[in-house]
Amino acid sequence: MNYILDSSAIFRTIKDKVIDRTADSYTLELARYELGNIVWKQHNLFKTIDQKDSIKLIRIIADVLNIFEILSVKSKEDKILELAEELNTTFYDASYLYYAQELGLPLLSEDMKLIEKGKHMGITASTLSEI
């Protein structure tokens, strides 16, 4: 089945080694930046991984992102902003919700607030463990 995955869901597929469960799915270009920031935080703020492992992890992330269809917000900014304002959520979260609704695909996220907002919109939204 195809899904829209946010960065938290992608990170979870890597961590749990279940990337194949989401093959042929979609994410947004911004996930690349969000995932890079997760790795940066793990190394620089939380000190849970060393520099060598952070480089390995970012390379794994880059490889994993190659299996997804990457969507852009280009030319959709106004619609996404309207949705963000309507839902009182971030532009980032509204981007994932916009595409889930636009493509009629379920949203995968580990962010319960995002999942609830998606369900409120009539979007099938769940965590990775729920699929």
What percentage of the chain has pLDDT greater than the value 70? 100
CA angle 6, 7, 9 (to 5 degrees): 70
Q: How far apart are CA 100 and CA 15, in angstroms?
A: 23
Give per-residue pLDDT as tens, 40-72.
999 999 999 999 999 999 999 999 999 999 999
Burial (0-12, 13-18, 19+ Cβ within 10 Å), 122:
exposed
Domains and CATH numbers, the chain: 4-130 (3.40.50.1010)
pLDDT band at 92 (very low <50, low <70, confident <90, very high): very high
pLDDT band at 5 (very low <50, low <70, confident <90, very high): very high
